[in-house]
Amino acid sequence: MKINPDSTPEQLSSLLISMTKDSGNSECMDCSANAPRWAVVNWGIFVCIRCSGIHRNLGTHISKVKSLNLDKWGPDEVRWMDKMGNERAREYLEAKPKKGVCRPAENTDDQVVIEVIKGKYARMESCGSKKPPTFKSWLKRESKKRDGRTSEKKSRKKEKKAVVEDSESTGSESDLDRQGTNCSSMTSPTSPQGVFGDVTGDPNTVGTRKEQLLALFS
């Protein structure tokens, strides 16, 4: 899902609620209650109001809880929720379920749900060999990617600017060369000039020729 960084809080909230229509997010991550309206941002999961309260009691260092429509969300948080979601989170957090422990149902006793959530998130009892990603670790990777893309764009702009400047410089030099050639041809006649045209004969006879020409017109 493409998320506009300039989205309004209302638009982000609407996107989050639309995510709960997906099959994996349509039920609470921890007790299968329908239509969850809360989320645990750290893990990228959607939960019901009861489980959100249990998560909140674990402390924000383990579970940071937010309402989908009452709290303010940032674009990166919404992007992370879309990236993770309940199904993917289960691949990490429920990779190796503890023997004798089943996922609670909506009507399961509260104390049982509390113990299951504590075991899953605080003690990581059902985790496999892969460490589950968190919002913090994901955001760190994304920031590095963005920084890399920004540096690459800046580098391409510099290269393009250098090519344009080099092209303009080469064009100016060519113009100057052409102008120099034209000026040279204009200021360097192939033969001496005189009042009566080109002087192609012996300079000592110029005076005689001048007198002859004047006699013709007198």
Q: Rounded to an integer, what distance in angstroms lies between the CA atom of residue 43 and that of residue 172?
A: 61
Q: Are strands 193-194 and 38-40 parallel, antiparallel or unpaired?
A: unpaired
Say yes or no to pLDDT of 215 above 90. no
Q: Give 145-183 pLDDT, tens digit per residue.
A: 877 766 566 666 666 666 666 666 666 555 556 665 555
Average pLDDT, the chain: 83
Q: What is the DSSP letter of 67?
A: E
pLDDT at residue number 101: 83
Contacts of 200 (CB under 8 A, 6+ apart): 191
Residue of 18, 44, 23 lying closest to 34 (CA atoms): 23
pTM metric for this prediction: 0.67
pLDDT at residue number 196: 47
Residue linked to tokens 């909230």: 13
Record the tokens describing residue 122, joined without a space.
């605080």
pLDDT at residue number 188: 47
Give mean pLDDT, residues 46-51. 98
